Structure 1
């Protein structure tokens, strides 16, 4: 018995040292009393060992055969990357080096490559930091990469893939995309929603004015992150549900407990939607939820449903009972859509899924860009002064900036564009799924590969951007060109805002407009400065790429009191 135990312990040690994942399961036998096994018998362990070694031999033979075959046929090789373990690939390294995006970028830097392949379980994950290669994927070969991979959390978030953004290529995606293009994000609907957007742009100015002027005429230090996220949330609540608040809100016009809880849940889902979860690559580990991603997303979805589904269910009932006959917001638009037979075009679940997707897609970029841009510009006061002078020249001080002023604000737009380049909301864009074998950048991309365009790698690529870690809005302007137009979109994929191709963001105009209205209203309405006692704003990034600490800045009203929308 003792000899058997020693052999098993030696076997465990060998396997565990060669592959850390197996150490999760091949643990030393628990001993009770006089060398009695309490969990794993020697026979079961021996069977497991035989299965493992047989699988290993098959894997090695298969790999060797593929290598010989591809060389004989002159088939391009996979992009460079770390050598994978049998069966589990690079999951052990991914697990040890969290956050995974940092590990991926470090490996690519060590390999000195703009495209790399990481084998996670059975999945090839292809990361890209080169605009030229990115354009090959999403322009030249867009049709082959127009699908999305299925993950645990994207399925939970999308009500089992009933929406658009994370739904794989197929009839459901085509149906929902057609609805968004023709019935939601068209020009007439966006004009119809203008008054609601203006109301919330006024409301955010009112909120900051109340915060900065109630205590002292000399201004007050405010939490800019709370302000920016409240704006994005309130604009979409107004457009979607014709509501500013889920509850009563705060007396100063800011978010109440309900709005803060809802926004927090949205950002939680964003953090884990396509995070590198072990269970997505090794499904047999899902029961353990080792990284707790699934648990956190489910908890966040409970919060989102608590606020959203009550409104949707009540509104559907109002329309079915004839108590509501006129559309007032986007929810009404979804409910009243009809198919060719005159029946509702969308099920209630499809409506809920698409609404959740739109809310999620609209809260992050505008708020993040405004907070980072103001943070950077507070440390470079000449940039802040230049942006404010442009606003005074184009808009003046006797009215607030409006949406139709935005095309005439190239420098302010360049500042927001630079924030999106240098400080993306996520390390990668939403993944694309290869629907067929393909050659990109002289490398073989197998069917089923996940393609990740690196927002960080593209936006900070020193081959593309001079001094890439410096916040420099002038890099987006053409010197000596008057009346030039600057856009937040980047179709050449030198950095990523709204992506491009079939899976590009359908609400890019709305996202750009929300970003610019928020940022311009902050700059025009208030004089911003570093809080007393601080030399400069800390620009440290968190692992989520948000500013590590929310921006607190001193705000003082700079326009005549009559301009502010005070109620």
Structure 2
């Protein structure tokens, strides 16, 4: 009767889908019950607390009817007054966590148990059948790609080789903003930070800023038409990644059904992304592997292509290179851009914080030269601001999904094999059990300690908030991510006095519920604070 009442309140297409789900899930559930030993069934009584669900469907209807979807988990955990919860979506157990203690247990003590990724059609579409490191199952493919990336791509030697490429884009950032000042244009911080992140990533990945042969740029640092579209497609592909949609839990039964429109969007946008990336990759592979190569390895793509194993065979296949390049594109840009916009907004909302950041820049760097990557270890207050932004304004609701490879426990509760485990970023960073005055922006909290001055880092290994994910599936690009983020913020603050643009209105720190961005993109007016000769010209 409950299911009949539910179907009459839903659109017809979903009613049809619901009948399929119930039928298939019933058969699956019956088989599971008949084949499960009594001891295993008893262990399910020790699952984390969760809301009551519908027969067969579990909590799926509640998730389907809630917008944004992440709100469903937040409201349920709040009602249950728990920091760990278990949801049932047609037999898929989903564990959500907002406790630092349980998060540390998950990624330290139980890290090997939770090191898998979900096997989803959308990930197969976007990332060439799970060939990249981030989405591949925990096994040989993952180990191979992680070793290549940690020991070669993100090595000190390779990152040092790319200092010049990153410095060019740090210079271009100043040239871009200075040109807007000269034309009395407002600075759209979101657009600016995304352009910087995109251009820096392209230089490190492909050795160039442009993605087409035309190489058409204005002389002030704006992206060309093709580059703008490439950047747009990168973000569109990023937004197609699994995000607590019903499709994430119905994939094994309805693969290819385009539930929620996700699969079609993923296919269209990832194909567009490949149309930009693959010609560059294929041309370079031919250059290195058929025509004798270049005088030197100059970027990440060169590194991938030229690596060989002990037998002299090429280590990374063309399909693996293409998948990993897509993963780099969609993983490298949003975190620095989101952090930059929110940090500047919080500084404008707290002028004393802005003054302290400028004072540190003037003392460490001065006004006679531009800040360089070598200055980053000494910019502790600026990094404390970035940490505080990560804490209170994360770029996503949850870290990428972990999957239990075997039965395990968390917080004293039973976690069945195959469970999807989600750690809530705002749930950690804004948790009053972890942080005093959690909604107050206070960088100083990251400087407090035992009285000894230590270098502030953006890594949070204790999982009191999430900057870069940790554990076996943690972010391997912490160093380069930190460098990009701090350099962008430091160069902008050093180079310009800033205030809200007159057309922006009153400063509002309201966030978009779905994406956690500022609800209204930050627009600023700027004035130079350095001598004219220090502002670089644009470097194409």
Q: Which residue of 2 aligns with 1:149?
A: 118
Q: Which residue of 2 aligns with 1:3?
A: none
1:200-349 aligned at under 5 Å gives the runs 200-212=169-181, 214-216=182-184, 220-246=185-211, 247-283=215-251, 284-319=253-288, 320-322=290-292, 324-349=294-319
Structure 2 residue 58 is matched with structure 1 residue 89:
yes
Aligned equivalent of 2:491, options 517, 521, 525? 521
Q: Which residue of 2 aligns with 1:560?
A: 531
Q: CA separation in 1, counterparts of 2:75 and 2:2?
A: 29
Q: CA separation in 2, counterparts of 1:58 and 1:140?
A: 32
List gaps (5 residues or longer) in structure 1: 1-12, 29-47
Q: Which residue of 1 aligns with 2:135?
A: 166
Q: CA separation in 2, counterparts of 1:242 and 1:54?
A: 50
**Deviation string, structure 1 residues 536-564 (Cα, Å, up to 9, x no partner):** 32222111111122210111111011111
Structure 1 pair 482–394 and aligned structure 2 pair: CA distance change class (3 A): farther
Deviation at 1:516, TM superposition (A): 0.5
Structure 1 pair 379–428 and aligned structure 2 pair: CA distance change class (3 A): same
Structure 1 pair 53–153 and aligned structure 2 pair: CA distance change class (3 A): closer
Q: Which moved more, 1:81-90 or 1:183-192?
A: 81-90
Q: Which residue of 2 aligns with 1:121?
A: 90
1:425-504 aligned at under 5 Å gives the runs 425-478=395-448, 481=451, 483-504=453-474
List gaps (5 residues or longer) in structure 2: none
From the CA coordinates, give the structure whose radius of gyration is larger: 1
1:45-84 aligned at under 5 Å gives the runs 77-84=46-53
Aligned equivalent of 1:198, options 148, 167, 175? 167
Deviation at 1:279, TM superposition (A): 2.8
Structure 1 pair 74–230 and aligned structure 2 pair: CA distance change class (3 A): closer
Q: Is the 8 A contact 1:366 1:515 kept in 2?
A: yes
Structure 1 pair 18–532 and aligned structure 2 pair: CA distance change class (3 A): closer
**Deviation string, structure 1 residues 13-69 (Cα, Å, up to 9, x no partner):** 8743156798746969xxxxxxxxxxxxxxxxxxx89x9699769958977998985
Q: Which residue of 1 aligns with 2:147?
A: 178
Partner secondary structure for residue 428 of structure 1: coil
Q: CA separation in 2, counterparts of 1:564 and 1:90?
A: 57
Deviation at 1:457, TM superposition (A): 0.4
Partner secondary structure for residue 186 of structure 2: strand
Structure 1 pair 58–192 and aligned structure 2 pair: CA distance change class (3 A): closer
Q: CA separation in 1, counterparts of 2:416 and 2:234?
A: 34
Aligned length: 530
Structure 2 residue 341 is matched with structure 1 residue 374:
no
Aligned equivalent of 1:409, options 379, 395, 405? 379
Larger relative contact order (CA 8 Å, sep ≥ 6): 2
**Deviation string, structure 1 residues 280-313 (Cα, Å, up to 9, x no partner):** 3224444542311112222211221121111001
Query: Runs in 1 of length 4+ with deviation above 3 angstroms?
Result: 18-28, 51-71, 73-76, 283-288, 479-484, 533-536
Q: Is the 8 A contact 1:16 1:22 kept in 2?
A: no
**Deviation string, structure 1 residues 243-284 (Cα, Å, up to 9, x no partner):** 122241233112222222122222222222121232332244
**Deviation string, structure 1 residues 179-227 (Cα, Å, up to 9, x no partner):** 1111111111111111111111111111111111x225xxx42111111
Structure 1 pair 385–314 and aligned structure 2 pair: CA distance change class (3 A): same
Alignment RMSD (CA, Å): 2.7
Q: Which moved more, 1:494-503 or 1:257-266?
A: 257-266
Q: Which moved more, 1:279-288 or 1:378-387?
A: 279-288
Q: Which residue of 2 aligns with 1:42?
A: none
Query: Could you state the TM-score of these two structures normalised by the residue count of structure 1?
Result: 0.88
Q: CA separation in 1, counterparts of 2:247 and 2:133?
A: 23
1:28-47 aligned at under 5 Å gives the runs none
Q: Is the 8 A contact 1:205 1:564 kept in 2?
A: yes
